[in-house]
């Protein structure tokens, strides 16, 4: 691979305490076009240290690990390398794990039975600034947020979203990516990206999923 090609590749760090899974995933991702695996680690502390030194674009992070859990490592990595996108890899489809991952700054959440194609696509999607969560998990996420939603405070003034922004947010909440949202609303992907960026700025949040969480809590979405 040439240097110019390498510069355009997504730099990935794999952190998982299951050696066979970690080595296998590293090997398979290494042959994917546009992906450059810059390191692997077997626990959350080592993963955080390696992330700080390697500054990867994307970190694939197991939820359950010794020494430092994936959730704790996610928070630490986001502090050390704010630009890094975190994808949680797990055998668990529990709503609580999913919710904690989102709160900790994760941009994606994949089950370990995902195909290598799905993992590679997730890496590319989150590197491009999008969130990655399957529609079925998105439903669980929304349900979890709705259960936690309580009218404990007044809406913060000045954070009203436009009708178009609410439309975009509703579609984000269903697990759709930018391309799918653009198709549904008959607008360009760039326009969708701009809307998402404006939504995050208005709500002072860091990820699409955090915006959905906020919107559900503040009853900004007309969800069933």
Residues forming beta bridges with residue 61, ordered by sequence position: 15, 88
Which of residues 97 and 155 earns the better pLDDT score?
Answer: 97
Where would I find the H helices in the chain? Answer: 3-8, 19-30, 44-54, 70-80, 95-103, 116-127, 135-148, 163-173, 178-185, 189-203, 208-217
What percentage of the chain has pLDDT greater than the value 70? 81
**Euclidean distance between CA atoms 108 and 132, whole angstroms:** 4
Q: How many helices (H) does the chain have, and how many strands (E)?
A: 11, 6
**Euclidean distance between CA atoms 89 and 14, whole angstroms:** 10
Contact 207, 169 (CB under 8 A): no
Question: Residue 26: pLDDT above 70?
Answer: yes
Across residues 166-190, what is the average pLDDT? 88
125 is written with which tokens?
């999607």
Contact 95, 144 (CB under 8 A): yes
User: Which residue in this structure is represented by tokens 């992070």?
Assistant: 61
Helix 163-173 × helix 189-203 angle, to 10°: 100
Question: Residue 76: pLDDT above 60?
Answer: yes
Across residues 55-63, what is the average pLDDT? 93
Give the pLDDT confidence score for residue 177 in this predicted structure: 84
**Measured torsion, CA atoms of residues 28, 72, 100, 15, in degrees rounded to the nearest 10:** 0
In the 8-state DSSP scheme, what is residue 12?
Answer: E
The highest-confidence range among 44-58, 84-98, 142-156, by mean pLDDT, is 44-58
Give the pLDDT confidence score for residue 209 in this predicted structure: 75
What is residue 39's three-state secondary structure?
strand
Which of residues 208 and 18 earns the better pLDDT score?
Answer: 18
């Amino acid at each position: 691979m040439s240097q110019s090609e390498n510069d355009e590749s997504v730099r990935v760090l794999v952190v998982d305490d299951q050696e066979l899974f970690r080595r296998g995933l590293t090997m398979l991702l290494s042959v994917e076009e546009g992906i450059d695996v810059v390191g692997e680690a077997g626990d959350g502390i080592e993963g955080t240290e390696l992330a700080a030194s390697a500054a990867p674009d994307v970190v694939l992070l197991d939820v359950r690990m010794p020494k430092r859990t994936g959730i704790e490592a996610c928070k630490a990595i986001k502090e050390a390398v704010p630009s890094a996108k975190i994808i949680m890899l797990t055998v668990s489809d529990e709503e609580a794990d999913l919710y904690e991952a989102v709160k900790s700054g994760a941009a994606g959440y994949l089950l370990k039975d995902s195909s290598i194609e799905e993992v590679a696509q997730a890496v590319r999607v989150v590197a491009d600034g999008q969130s990655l969560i399957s529609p079925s998990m998105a439903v669980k996420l929304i349900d979890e947020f709705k259960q936690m939603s309580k009218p404990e405070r007044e809406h913060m003034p000045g954070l009203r979203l436009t009708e178009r922004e609410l439309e975009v947010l509703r579609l984000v909440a269903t697990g759709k990516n930018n391309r799918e949202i653009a198709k549904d609303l008959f607008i360009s992907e760039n326009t969708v990206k701009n809307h998402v960026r404006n939504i995050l700025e208005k709500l002072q949040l860091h990820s699409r999923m955090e915006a959905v969480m906020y919107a559900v809590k503040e009853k900004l979405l007309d969800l069933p």
